[in-house]
Amino acid sequence: MQLRFIGGRGTNSYRRTNGGAYEAPMTMSASQIKFHGDPSLAPSRAEPTLAAGGVRALLRLEGFAAFATALALYRHGGFSWPVFALLFLAPDLSMLAYLAGPRAGAIGYNLAHTYVAALPLVLVAFVGGIPAAMAGGLIWIGHIGFDRALGYGLKYSTGFGDSHLGQLGRH
């Protein structure tokens, strides 16, 4: 990436020196630019954006609410608790995608740990009167909510420990 530094009147202008001559615009690569000031404010591609403080606590509380709601609806539906216990950790099988590398692992994990598919599954099950899909969807939502309540968030491709709720093991 090249940045142009120009002095004056537009993108194609030339800068006048003290001696009256004109200089062409200067270009430099982004890697030549140094950040001066507080290093924690410097943008970095290596550092993912994380939820912190009250936002992190609110996201964890939201996860607990999803978990508790899924449990209540599961109980209300009269579904099998042994099936719940058997399938509750099934979304964690997506961690096997990490065997193909951190990028594939993050994609696989995130697909299994987002409400994007679980909520429509429950909606279709409700509208269509499909009890098995309803039970499976509620177990899935319960798992996601439980993970969020414990602080396990969606993963970045930088490694399994890097999530939108912070690094695992550091609170």
Question: Residue 116: what pLDDT?
Answer: 96
Distance, in Å, from the CA atom of 5 to the CA atom of 19, rounded to the nearest integer, reads 20
Longest dimension (CA), the chain: 88
Question: Residue 161: what pLDDT?
Answer: 80
Question: Residue 47: what pLDDT?
Answer: 52
Secondary structure letter of residue 98 according to DSSP: G
| Residue ranges, the chain, pLDDT below 70 | 1-49, 168-171
Q: In what order do the strands lie in the sheet with 155-156?
A: 155-156, 159-163, 166-167
61's CB contacts (< 8 A; 6+ apart) are 149
Chain segment 56-88, per-residue pLDDT in tens: 899 999 999 999 999 999 999 999 999 999 999
Q: Where are the beta strands (DSSP E) in 17-68?
A: 22-23, 26-29
Question: Residue 10: what pLDDT?
Answer: 46
Question: Residue 37: what pLDDT?
Answer: 47
Residues paired with 159 in a beta bridge: 156
CA angle, 158 as apex, 36 and 43 as ends, to 5°?
20
Secondary structure letter of residue 113 according to DSSP: S
Distance, in Å, from the CA atom of 139 to the CA atom of 91, rounded to the nearest integer, reads 10
Question: Residue 6: what pLDDT?
Answer: 44
Measured on CA atoms in the order 20, 25, 30, 32, is the torsion positive or negative? negative
